[in-house]
Amino acid sequence: MRRFRLGAIGVALAAGVAPVMAAAQGAPSRYTLQQAIDRAQAQGLTALAAKATRDAARQRDRAFGAGLLPQLSLSGQVPTYNRSIIPVLQPDGTTLFRPQEQNESSLNMVLAQRLPYLGGDLTVSSQLSRLDRVGTTSSRTWSSTPMNVGIRQDLFRPNRLRWDSRVQELQAESAERTYREAMEDVAIQTANTFFDYYSAKLGLENAVTNAAVNDTLYTLNNGRFEVGKIGENDLLQSELALLRARVALDGARLEHDRTLASLRLALNLPPGAPLEVVVTSEIPEVAADTAQAVAQALRNRANMVELELQEVNADRRISESRFGTGPGATLQASMGFNQTGSEVDAVYRDLREAQRFSLAVSMPIVQWGGRSANIQAARLDEQRVQHTNRQTREQTAQEAHFAALQLAQARRSLAIAAKADTVGAKRFEVAKNRYVIGRIGMDNLYQAQNEKDAALQGYLGALRNYWVAYYRLRRVTMYDFAIGSALR
């Protein structure tokens, strides 16, 4: 960690001095920047929304994985009643219409398993049915299929299950990386909100100090004017400075309250909750190599997974265009045992073999160039994806490269701004004392005051820029250079 010397007001706040206008409403919650970020990432509303999105993606991935396991289902019709007049074919070839009244019930249990490498379906089933004829010739018939093993397999067609598995794998990884990036976005937003309030707090203290100093100077100048040591113009200039200081104080109070409310919202604290920020002079001593930053960004960013997902989808469209509308076939085969009888016990004795095999063939003959056009369109889409992905990778690399350089520049600027803040505060104190004893004029005093205020704002801006640059480098690389490991 590296220390920077703070100005007079910065030292007071770093030591935890409460602002002069704070009311004693109980012990306030004290937050350093890291503590504020930790709370925002754990309890902030933005972080909670990101966590819900990630958890939903995990559940969808879990549901997809569960769908690849054997699925057991039970279905049935209890009962199916039918009373109607139907055509009945007679032995002599004629057809007569006969009334019928029947009640049919069935129960079927199926164990199904998708075949990941083939893309087909394997099933093991068991079925029991009952048919009741009602009327003058009432009867009851049972039918059973104790076990039947079947397979259904598409031939010369895309393996949709293999593509779905690859897409789901990439989507799950993208969701995890997107969540981690969302946490880093929360860190950047919290750092900005934190320093908005810190700047407003120091600005308010500075405005209180300026108003008090200008009030003292106006009282002093009023006495000097009465004894003729200064002219009316100098007295009016002092009064104008006092009025401006009071206006600035009102604006500083409003900005303080606004930024405090924003920080409470970022940390998900209740309105009116006591809150105090503590800023130390220590910053991480991070030396980020640009080549390492680029390599980590290309390895860890969520958009790299998104690019791979786009490439997989482009390859999938080509495969579906080539095999989805060309010659193909569907193979279905099953083997098992069945029996029928008038009693339920009988249908499970003396079982007979049941076999079924079918091969359905589909062969388009005339498509008027539609298949080749679809294939060409899919290949052109693949080229588009390749070009846009290359551009995205180059942009990601550039972003990481300049983020590393920006952090180094922000560290140098902070060192200079901290020194300028200290010098500006000391110079104003010297100028004020010299003005009181009449050694310098009013213009020099107000110039020193303006320079002191500018130096303070410059320091606050440099401090904010450093921390934002630090967390932005983490965000664009998803790598913690302070400890030398990827963010998890």
Q: For 76-85, what is each residue's pLDDT tens digit?
A: 988 888 888 8
Question: Is 128 part of a structural domain of the chain?
Answer: yes
- How confident is the model at residue 188, as a pLDDT? 96
Is residue 372 in some structural domain? no
Do 471 and 405 lie in a common domain?
Answer: yes
Cα gap 390→307, rounded to integer Å: 9
Q: Read off the DSSP letter of residue 116.
A: T
In the predicted structure, residue 71 carries a pLDDT above the cut 80:
yes
Looking at the fold, whether 101 and 246 belong to one and the same domain comes out as no
- Say yes or no: 47 and 184 in one domain: yes
Q: Are 83 and 18 found together in one domain?
A: no
CA distance 180 to 177: 5
pTM summary value: 0.84
Model confidence band, residue 1 (pLDDT cutoffs 50, 70, 90): very low
Q: List pLDDT tens digits, range 329-379.
A: 999 999 999 999 988 888 999 899 999 999 999 999 988 989 899 999 999
- 135 has pLDDT over 90: no
Angle between helices 232-266 and 33-43 (to 10 degrees): 40
Beta carbons within 8 Å of 415's beta carbon, 6+ residues apart:
4
Total domains in the fold of the chain: 2
Segment 141-162 mean pLDDT: 94
**Residues 170 and 109 reside in one and the same domain:** no
Question: What is the token pair recorded at 39?
Answer: 């709370």
Q: Are residues 186 and 291 in the same domain?
A: yes
- How sure is the predictor about 402, in pLDDT bands with cuts at 50, 70 and 90? very high
Question: Within this chain, do residues 305 and 358 fall inside the same structural domain, yes or no?
Answer: no
User: What CATH number corresponds to the domain at position 391?
Assistant: 1.20.1600.10
Taking residues 7-21, what's their average pLDDT?
37
Sorting pLDDT into bands at 50, 70 and 90, what band is 136?
low
The two beta strands, 275-277 and 29-31, are parallel
Is 368 inside a domain boundary? Answer: no
- Residue 417 is predicted with a pLDDT of 93
Domain membership of residue 100 as a residue range: 74-115+120-157+327-363
pLDDT higher than 60, residue 29: yes
Same-domain check for residues 138 and 257: no
For residue 55, is pLDDT > 90?
Answer: yes
Answer yes or no: is 319 within a domain: no
According to the model, what pLDDT value does residue 10 have? 43
d(CA 382, CA 325): 19
108 shares a domain with 36 = no
How many whole angstroms separate alpha carbon 254 and alpha carbon 259?
A: 9
pLDDT at position 21: 35
